[in-house]
Structure 1
Amino acid sequence: MKIVVIGGSGLIGKKVVTNLRQRGHEVVAASPSSGVNTVTGEGLAQALAGAQVVVDVANAPSWEDNAVLAFFET
């Protein structure tokens, strides 16, 4: 099964990718380092092509200090 892991190069994403590959799945680790930008959509269509499952473990982008602080306070 082809599975795309958005945020696949991050702390949690790397573990998810490794686990899925060990179980025999075809896994695409979609992240900026692999040419996928979920904010602009760049590379997203190519990464998702043929995928049966998408797992999103990416950090939510924020450009405000208060939004980041609120994330950790909730």
Structure 2
Amino acid sequence: MKIVVIGGTGLIGSKTVAILREEGHEVVAASPKSGVNSITGEGLKEAMASAQVVIDLTNSPSFEDKAVLEFFE
């Protein structure tokens, strides 16, 4: 199964990616480091092509309550 982990190079994301790969899944670790920016959408379409599952482990770009809630809507 192809799984895209947005935030896949972060602390939690990298561990999630490793576990999923150990289980035999095809995993894309999507993050700005891999050319995927979930805020601007850059690289997102290509990363998600033919994916069956998307896991979002991104952090909000802000710590203000309103901005955080809007980011995850």
Normalised to the residue count of structure 2, the TM-score between the two structures is: 0.86
Superposed displacement of residue 5, structure 1: 0.1
Which residue does 1:34 correspond to in 2? 34
Which residue does 1:52 correspond to in 2? 52
Task: Give the alignment of 1:3-42 within 5 angstroms.
Answer: 3-42=3-42
The percent of aligned pairs where both chains have the same amino acid is 67
1:2 lines up with 2:2 in the alignment: yes
Task: Structure 1: give runs of 5+ residues left out of the alignment.
Answer: none
Which residue does 1:43 correspond to in 2? 43
- How many residues align? The count is 66
- In 1, the alpha carbon distance for the partners of 2:2 and 2:61 equals 26
Q: SS of the residue aligned with 1:8?
A: coil
Instruction: Flag the structure with larger Rg.
Output: 1
Superposed displacement of residue 61, structure 1: 1.4
Normalised to the residue count of structure 1, the TM-score between the two structures is: 0.84
- In 2, the alpha carbon distance for the partners of 1:59 and 1:49 equals 23
Runs of 4+ in 1 over 3 A off after TM superposition: none
- In 1, the alpha carbon distance for the partners of 2:61 and 2:50 equals 26
- In 2, the alpha carbon distance for the partners of 1:60 and 1:23 equals 29
